[in-house]
Structure 1
Amino acid sequence: MVDVIASLSALAELPGVPERIAAARDACEQLRWHEALRRRIPEASAESRVRGAQASAALEGATVPLDLVRDVMRGAAQWPLTPDPVELVARGAVTATAESEHVRSLVTRAPLQALARLHVAAAADLLPAEQVGRPRLEGETSAEFRDLGPAPAAGELRERLDLLVAAMTAGAAVPALVVAAVAHAEIATARPFVRANGVVARAVERALLQATGLDPTGVVVSEAGHATQGGPAYLGALAAYGLGTPEGLGLWIGHCADAVVAGAAQGAQICDAVRAGRLT
């Protein structure tokens, strides 16, 4: 049996990784002390989810206006009655990112339940009902992330899910950034669902960053941190993780650390806007 905690702890000590973890932790701590978060955390975290949802959709190739995402998430607008394929993907990203707020108490205690809920949110409009909220079965595959190679078959997938659960429940023995990064990459590379794996992976990362205490206010826009580095860099870092080499694993964790630093900077911009009353 793989000692998951020992393996994750070893990842945290790969060359260059401790410094990147420290930078992410420092960025989150600095954000936590922003004056706007003394009394207005709900406003700031809500706007973080708005921007995170837009960025997550963009990484799926679904570009939608920020104002539309904001209005939909606050109930001031609705998606078209007959949405096009781009809008369907965007709607899933918006719904899953919103749901991340409600599963943060589950991601470290009941990971499979959290995954199921996030997949229902992300894929309800993309898949037949019988394929929503559960892992792929024998004979089912996923065409997503093709650059990462074929998705694992159902037998291997079960083993990968067991390791994913162990990682998500590792607790304080492992740096929070490593837990979130590995969970994100495992979902994206193992592709447990027929569709919406990327959206679920990013929503899980967001929920874990909050649940593990790295970003307790939920204001870091980690999805935007990934998107800011560009889609090719995101896919390249995931591909490096999939190689399983120390260099590849370290590259992915560093990518996630950089995403958190960039996401914290965007969180600070949100806080500035909240304090100034400039959110629209």
Structure 2
Amino acid sequence: MAEDPLSALSQLADVAPALASARAAVDDAYRHRMLRRRGGEVAAEVSLRSAVASAALAGGRYDLADARSGVVTDPLLHGALRCAQALPGLAEQWRRAPRQVLARLHLLAARGVVADELLGRPVGTEQPPVAARLDALVEVIVASGGQGMVRAAVVHGELLALGLFPGPNGVVARAAGRLELLSSGLDPRGLLLVDEVHLAREPEYVGSAGSFATGTPDGVRAWLRHCATAVEQGAGGVAEVADYLG
């Protein structure tokens, strides 16, 4: 098994307890009795809610009921919905070909939002610093082992910081973060409502993402703690979705 390139990050102050608390919440959520009978319905509802929240963070704010009924025609929301629905099918390819998966996520997210010739094409990669950070991110994704929450946070944060994709880059970044949670085995059924938590804590989300982009230990720590909180509270949302579905 390859060495985890992010192992030092979980040793930052207060990060390990936040990760442990979030992990316990995920384990508890996955024991919900309704998942045995109607887990697929719960996952579908979580996918919808996650897409609505991610679109809202990108500037397309709509009521969940309107999104559920299909009356919203905004291509931004439809792109977020396509991304969310595609994640289970992209999980196996994620480790093998992350660049292609990211391009696919952008194509799904940005169709109808940006010009067709820009779909699936990262920008700025001709600049050596950007290319180097993207290469390092790919190495993180293809490496095995390590903390799934930390990896997901780094994938999410780096994609936000790099701004690789025209238009709904944030939708791509959040989808990639969820895909890492799914692929790592932490959230194999895609049940965690992390994007709803990002939206509910939007000022903290934006601020800690900006701090992460600085690369300082305190900035990275703030982002990791925010993402751990999103996982923990997102796990708590599983019971709420199960109760909603009855």
Q: Which category describes the TM-score, using the shorter chain as reference length? A: over 0.9
Per-residue CA shift, 1:158-180, capped at 9, x if unaligned? 212111111112222x1000000
Alignment of 1:240-259 (within 5 A): 240-259=211-230
Q: Tell me how large the CA RMSD over aligned residues is.
A: 1.7
The residue type equivalent to 1:206 in the other structure is R
Measured after TM superposition, the shift of residue 155 of structure 1 is 2.8
Instruction: Indicate yes or no: 2:11 matched with 1:5.
Output: no
Q: Which runs of 5+ in 2 are unaligned?
A: none
The residue type equivalent to 1:33 in the other structure is R
Alignment of 1:3-82 (within 5 A): 5-6=4-5, 8-71=6-69, 77=70, 79-80=72-73
Alignment of 1:81-100 (within 5 A): 87-100=74-87
Tell me, what secondary structure is at the counterpart of 1:12? Answer: helix
| 1-structure distance, mates of 2:129, 2:166 | 15
Instruction: Indicate yes or no: 2:189 matched with 1:223.
Output: no
Measured after TM superposition, the shift of residue 102 of structure 1 is 2.1
1:104 paired residue number: 91
Instruction: Indicate yes or no: 2:236 matched with 1:238.
Output: no
Q: Which structure carries more helix by proportion?
A: 2
1:166 paired residue number: 139
Q: Which runs of 5+ in 1 are unaligned?
A: 72-76, 81-86, 139-152
TM superposition score normalised by structure 2: 0.94
| 2-structure distance, mates of 1:31, 1:109 | 29
Alignment of 1:88-167 (within 5 A): 88-136=75-123, 154-167=127-140
Per-residue CA shift, 1:179-213, capped at 9, x if unaligned? 00000001000111122110001111111111111
| 2-structure distance, mates of 1:88, 1:43 | 25
| 2-structure distance, mates of 1:192, 1:137 | 7
- C-alpha contact 1:104 1:210 (8 A) present in aligned 2: yes
| 2-structure distance, mates of 1:164, 1:176 | 14
| 1-structure distance, mates of 2:243, 2:189 | 15
In the alignment of these two chains, the number of paired residues is 245
Measured after TM superposition, the shift of residue 88 of structure 1 is 2.6
Instruction: Indicate yes or no: 2:186 matched with 1:214.
Output: yes
Alignment of 1:189-200 (within 5 A): 189-200=161-172
The residue type equivalent to 1:182 in the other structure is V
Identity %: 37
1:175 paired residue number: 147
**Equivalent residue for 2:233, pick from 256, 262, 276:** 262
TM superposition score normalised by structure 1: 0.83
Per-residue CA shift, 1:107-131, capped at 9, x if unaligned? 2222112101110010111111111
